[in-house]
Structure 1
Amino acid sequence: MSAEFGQRSSGAKRPLVIAHRGASGIVPENTLLAFHLAVEMGADMIELDVRCSRDGHLVVLHDPDVARTTDGFGQVHELDLEDLLRLDAGYRFSPDGQQFLYRGLGLRIPTLDEVLANLPSHIGINLEIKSSADGDARAADGRRIAASLAARCRREPALVERLLVSSFDIVVLGELRQMRPELRTALCVMPFDPLLRQLDRVCEAGLSALHPADAALGADAAHLIERAHRLGMAVNVWTVNSADRIAELAALGVDGIITDDPERAVQVLERARRAAAAR
């Protein structure tokens, strides 16, 4: 399989640089500004989070509540798109906890439509399906987003080639695969999850990739990556910001580095590539 947009990479290719919520270590996360900056920094893919508003619009926001990143309050699934678009998506961002340089600059919560319209077509998109906190609402949200993505891919077949859909909910991913089996899908895994068991689940479900937290990788990381590759699956690790750790994971053969600092990741991987070529 090729390394394009989240698939299993060949040994000759460096890991993909996947910008976590855009260049979120430098500017407000999940904004068009963060996505454009990540592209300028050389990211191969943009990772973003999608939720559903009360009136059925897909918006790009990580948390179920708007309070951490905006000047508003309330659950995304209890707010209409009009309410969400009034919020200042740069309000809470501060590089040092003292200065809030992005307040009042017009940064908004983007819709998925806006992101797709604004990102260059050569940039891959790792779209993570988010849903409500728990219970029936959670399942309904996930299915709603999956159905909307499937419908969009029917209308825009070219989107399939640049899309990698991830989630912590393997049921939602399975339902999406039933609707659009050609879509690449990835299971996100928390630090406390046993990775080999999760790898078996990914394989049984026919998914394309495993997205483990970096903290979940232990002494058997090389074995896990090798096993995933034998099964034809990619391993994309989140969230990795240390230059040393980026280099270590690249040496282990991971397929993607999900990072808040895409510029640093690109620089580290390029140095490693040049060093390997010189040997």
Structure 2
Amino acid sequence: MQPAVVAHRGASAHAAEHTLAAYDLALAQGADALECDVRLTRDGHLVCVHDRRVDRTTNSRGVVSTLSLADLAMLDYGGEIGVLTLDALLGLAKDHGSRLFIETKHPVRYGGLVETKLVALLARHGLAEPAAKEDSPVVVMSFSTLAVRRVRAAAPRLPTVLLVTQLWPTLRDGTLPPWADHTGPGIGLLRRDPDYVARAADHGHATYCWTVDEPDDVMLCANIGVRWLATNAPAATRAVLGAG
């Protein structure tokens, strides 16, 4: 079975990341699912921003956690005015029937409040208690083990991904902590250790791999059984999978 194509911050190779334009383009390019990063504003809103600061992605400077939603709404994000809220992106994903992978960023000023606010927002959208994890419209991810544990404690039915850049000794055999459903290695890890996907599968854990844009890497993921492939270029990635 081919990996599902997940649009990393939208079709961010062709449109400004974390903008509605990037997500609309990703859906037009046939992405199977969407991915975003979330941070908390000073006044407690979840916004789709990767970096701690807005310097790289806007026409301004500053730390996301010290800015209000109104402050962020005035900025230019690669030609699109106004920050994308998670609330708005959830609405878009719901309208299109698209699964959304949400990464909480850490360390952050507000610590566990990020996950508390996230679960509360998902509950308002009716997404915090899916009937089955396999069918959940939302998957929550983090590199922070504490963050993933908090999500499991607050919303036990939500599927979770533990993102990893390297395998700790306790993970090398493919096992995961009991509060993580799936594993999330970077493509560099899988280049070095492609058999890890099979070891994780032997323990009942599917693999979400980031960030995969090169054709050889796309085919590697397809050949070793990666289930979800996060890419900045959904159309190009889908074309490689189709050709393979």
TM-score for both structures, normalised by structure 2: 0.90
Q: Deviations over 1:15-49 (max 9, x none)?
A: 01011110001110011110110011011111101
**Unmatched runs of 5 consecutive residues or more in structure 1:** 1-12, 91-101, 273-279
Q: Distance in 2 between matches of 1:147 and 1:54?
A: 15
SS in 2 for 1:221: coil
Query: What is aligned with 1:231?
Result: 203
**Residues 1:144 and 2:119 are matched in the alignment:** no
Match of 2:87 in 1: 113
Deviation at 1:204, TM superposition (A): 2.0
Match status 1:205 vs 2:178: yes
Secondary structure (helix, strand or coil) at the match of 1:109 reads coil
Deviation larger for 262-271 or 74-83 = 262-271
Amino acid of the residue matched to residue 17 of structure 1?
A: V
How far apart are the structure 2 equivalents of 1:232 and 1:88? 43
Shift of 1:195: 5.8
Structure 1 position 265, deviation (Å): 1.2
In structure 2, the partner of 1:179 is 154
Q: Equivalents in 2 of 1:218, 1:146: separation in Å? A: 32
Q: How many residues are treated as equivalent by the alignment?
A: 237
> Does 2:193 match 1:220?
yes
- Looking at structure 1, the residues matched to 12 and 223 of structure 2 have their Cα atoms a distance apart, in angstroms, of 25
| Equivalence for 1:62 | 50
Instruction: Say which SS state the counterpart of residue 76 (structure 2) adopts.
Output: coil
1:33 is aligned to 21
Give 1:198 shift: 3.7
Q: Answer yes or no: is the 8 Å Cα contact 2:175–2:203 preserved in 1.
A: no
Q: In structure 2, how many angstroms separate the alpha carbons of the residues matched to 1:168 and 1:240?
A: 18
Shift of 1:219: 4.5
User: Residue 98 of structure 2 aligns to which amino acid in structure 1?
Assistant: I
Q: How far apart in 2 are the matches of 1:126 and 1:15?
A: 15
Residue 230 of structure 1: how far off its partner (Å): 1.4
Q: CA RMSD in A?
A: 1.9
Q: CA deviation at 1:189?
A: 1.3
Letter in 2 for 1:148: K
Quote the offset at 1:200 in angstroms.
6.5
Offset at residue 201 of structure 1 (A): 8.9
Amino acid at match of 1:214: I
- Aligned partner of residue 118 in structure 1, secondary structure: helix
Aligned twin of 2:124 = 155
Q: 1:195·1:216 contact (CA, 8 Å) conserved in 2?
A: no
Deviation at 1:121, TM superposition (A): 4.0
8 Å Cα contact 2:209/2:229 also seen in 1: yes
Residue 176 of structure 1, CA deviation: 1.0
C-alpha distance in 1 between matches for 2:96 and 2:171: 32
For residues 33 and 76 of structure 2, the distance between their equivalents in structure 1, rounded to whole angstroms, comes to: 25
* Counterpart in the other structure of 1:8: none
Q: Separation in 2 of the partners of 1:77 and 1:202?
A: 35
- Displacement of 1:269 in angstroms is 1.6
Distance 2:207 2:169 in 1: 12
2:233 to 246, 257, 261: 261
Distance in 1 (CA, whole Å) between partners of 2:127 and 2:221 is 31
Percentage identity across aligned positions?
33
Moved over 4 A (4+): 199-202
* Cα distance, 1:155 vs structure 2: 3.3
Deviations along 1:73-123, one digit per CA (max 9) or x if unpaired, are 110001111101101011xxxxxxxxxxx3xxx432211111112233421
1:164 is aligned to 2:152: no
Normalising to structure 1: TM-score of the pair? Answer: 0.79
